[in-house]
Amino acid sequence: MKYNIRMAAGNKYKVKVRLKVRNRLFKKAGLAASAFAAVFLLGYCCFLAVRLAARMPASRLFAFTAKSVSVNGPSEEITAEISRRMAGKLGGVFSSGDSEAFADGLKKSYPALSRVEVKRNFVTGRVNVRAESENVVAKVRFNGDKVLYLSESGRLLAEHYGPDPADVFETDVYSSPGLVLGSLAVFLKELKALVPEFSSRPVKLECRGSAEPCRLTLENSAEVLWGGFEFTRSKVARLNEVLPDAAGKIKGPLKLDFRYFADGKIFVSKLSGI
Q: List, in order, residues 6 or more apart from 166 with CB less than 8 Å away.
A: 192
Q: Which of 27-31, 83-87, 209-213 has the lowest mean pLDDT?
A: 27-31
Give the model's pLDDT for residue 12.
Answer: 47
CA distance 156 to 171: 13
Give the model's pLDDT for residue 195.
Answer: 96
User: What are the tens digits of pLDDT across the range 10-23?
Assistant: 444 444 545 554 55
User: What are the tens digits of pLDDT across the range 113-161?
Assistant: 999 999 999 999 999 999 999 999 999 999 988 999 999 999 999 998 8
Domain boundaries, the chain: 19-55, 68-133, 136-270
- Does residue 150 contact residue 185 with C-beta atoms inside 8 Å? yes
User: What are the tens digits of pLDDT across the range 171-186?
Assistant: 999 988 778 899 999 9
| pLDDT top residue among 272 and 236 | 236
| pLDDT top residue among 248 and 10 | 248
Beta strand pairing call for 156-157 and 170-173: unpaired
CB neighbours (10 Å) of residue 138? 24
Give the model's pLDDT for residue 252.
Answer: 87
Domain covering 68-133 assigned CATH 3.10.20.310 in the classification: yes
Give the model's pLDDT for residue 161.
Answer: 86
pLDDT band at 196 (very low <50, low <70, confident <90, very high): very high
> What mean pLDDT is reported for the chain?
83
Give the model's pLDDT for residue 114.
Answer: 92
The CATH number of the domain covering residues in 136-270: 3.40.50.11690
CA distance 112 to 86: 20
